């Protein structure tokens, strides 16, 4: 049986939020008691089906990012977005100004997040070619 890729991503993001912020019952995120209790069934079931907006929202909360931080992360990969467009992505689905998060936006955010956390990738030199005679 093959696992759905978004199911794994949803579980990862929920665990990331749990590890950094706790499960809401304590101030400390990843202490021994919380690790023994693990996830409740409700937490796991709630994170099974997620769209790009849900993934983006959970990452924003888990990493404690503000809209200005997200805009600067997206600028690292030359992707421009306004604060009002970003606000529309984080609205609830029933709001009249809701905008679905596309794959391109989420992909560019994740690529920018890598640069933001690790720094730019070092430039690789092309291997020298050998001349055969």
Does 113 lie in the same domain as 58?
yes
CA torsion through residues 35, 58, 104, 92, sign: positive
Does 66 lie in the same domain as 108?
yes
CA distance 77 to 111: 7
CA distance 96 to 24: 30
| C-beta atoms surrounding 10 within 10 Å | 20
Does 45 lie in the same domain as 56?
no
Q: Look at residue 90 and tell me if it is in a domain.
A: yes
Does 85 lie in the same domain as 38?
no
Q: Look at residue 21 and tell me if it is in a domain.
A: yes
Q: Look at residue 129 and tell me if it is in a domain.
A: no
Long-range CB pairs of 92-97 (<8 Å, 24+ gap) are 93/53
Q: Along the 133 residues of the chain, how does pLDDT read in single tens digits?
A: 444 555 566 666 666 666 665 555 433 344 444 444 555 555 555 555 678 898 899 899 889 999 999 999 999 999 999 999 999 999 999 999 999 999 999 999 999 999 998 888 777 777 767 777 6
Does 99 lie in the same domain as 68?
yes
Does 13 lie in the same domain as 35?
yes
Sorted by sequence, the CB contacts under 8 Å of residue 124 that are 6+ apart come out as none
Quote the pLDDT of residue 9: 64
Q: Look at residue 130 and tell me if it is in a domain.
A: no
Does 20 lie in the same domain as 6?
yes
Domain residue limits at 94 = 51-120
Give this prediction's pTM. Answer: 0.62
CA count, 13 A, side-chain hemisphere, 70:
25
Does 89 lie in the same domain as 33?
no
State CA 26 to chain mean position distance: 23
Quote the pLDDT of residue 95: 92
Quote the pLDDT of residue 18: 61
Confirm if 107 and 73 have CB atoms less than 8 A apart.
no
CA distance 54 to 13: 10
Quote the pLDDT of residue 20: 61
């Amino acid at each position: 049986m093959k696992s759905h890729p978004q199911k794994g991503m949803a579980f990862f993001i929920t665990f990331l939020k749990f590890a950094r912020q706790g499960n809401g019952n304590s101030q400390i995120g990843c202490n021994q008691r919380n690790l023994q209790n693990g996830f409740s069934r409700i937490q796991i079931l709630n994170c099974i089906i997620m769209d790009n907006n849900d993934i983006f929202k959970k990452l924003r909360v888990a990493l404690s990012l503000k809209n200005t931080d997200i805009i600067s992360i997206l600028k690292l990969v030359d992707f421009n977005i306004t604060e009002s467009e970003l606000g529309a992505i984080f609205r609830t689905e029933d709001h009249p100004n809701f905008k679905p998060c596309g794959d391109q936006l989420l992909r560019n955010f994740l690529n920018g997040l890598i640069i933001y956390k690790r720094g730019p990738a070092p430039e690789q030199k092309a291997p020298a070619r050998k001349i055969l005679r």
